[in-house]
Amino acid sequence: MAGSETPCPLDVADGLERAGGEMDFYKELLDLLLEDVPPRIVELRAAAAAADPVKVAGVAHAIKGAAANLAATPLREAALTLEMKGREGVASGLEPMIERLDAELGRLAEFVKTIC
C-alpha cells in the first residue's frame, strides 16, 4: 500500500443510511464494532499460529460482515483478504495481513472519534 493514498476508513453517508439515518445508533454500532474486533484479532493470531485456515476464514468472515454493515470498507477489505486465504487453506504468512487488519482498526478508531 506504500505510496498510494490511504482511503477513508469509513463511508459515513453509506453507513448512516444503513443505520436508518440515525447518527446516535450508527455511533453506538461503531463503538460495538471497535469493541468486538480486538478479541477477534487475538483469535486470528491464535488461529494463524495454530495453522488453522478454517478458523482464520471463520473469524475473518465475521469481522468482514460487521465492518461491511457499517461501511467500514478498508477494514472489510483487510478481513476479506484473510478470509480468502483461509478458504484457500493457507495458514502461513498471514501475520502481515493480520497486522494490516489491526492497523485499519486503529485508523477506524481514530476516525470514529472525529465524527459526532
Partner 1 sequence: MRILIAEDEPISRRLLAAALKKMGHDVVGAENGRAAWETLQREDIRLVIADWEMPEMTGLELVRKLREEAADRYIYAILLTSRGLKQDIVLGLEAGADDYVTKPFDRDELMVRIKAGERVTRLEAELAERNEQLRRMALVDGLTGIANRRSFDEDFSRQREHAKRFSRAFSVVMIDIDHFKLYNDSLGHEAGDGALRAVAQLLAGALRVSDKVYRYGGEEFVCILPETDAQGAVVVAERLRGAIEGAKIPHAGNKPSGVVTISVGVASHGADAAAGDEELLSRADQALYVAKSGGRNRVAAWSAESPVRS
List contacts with partner 1 (CB under 8 A).
Answer: 17-20, 22, 25, 29, 32-33, 36, 58, 61-62, 64-66, 68-71
Amino acid sitting at position 29: L
| Gap between the Cα atoms of 94 and 84, Å rounded | 11
Q: Compare residues 62 and 90 and give the one whose CB is closer to partner 1.
A: 62
Q: Which residues of 4-17 are buried (b: 16+ CB within 10 A; e: fewer)?
A: eeeeebbbbeebbe
CB 17, min distance to partner 1, A: 8
| Gap between the Cα atoms of 76 and 68, Å rounded | 6
| Nine-digit cell string for 109 | 478508531
CB 48, min distance to partner 1, A: 19
Q: Compare residues 8 and 95 and give the one whose CB is closer to partner 1.
A: 8
CB 78, min distance to partner 1, A: 15
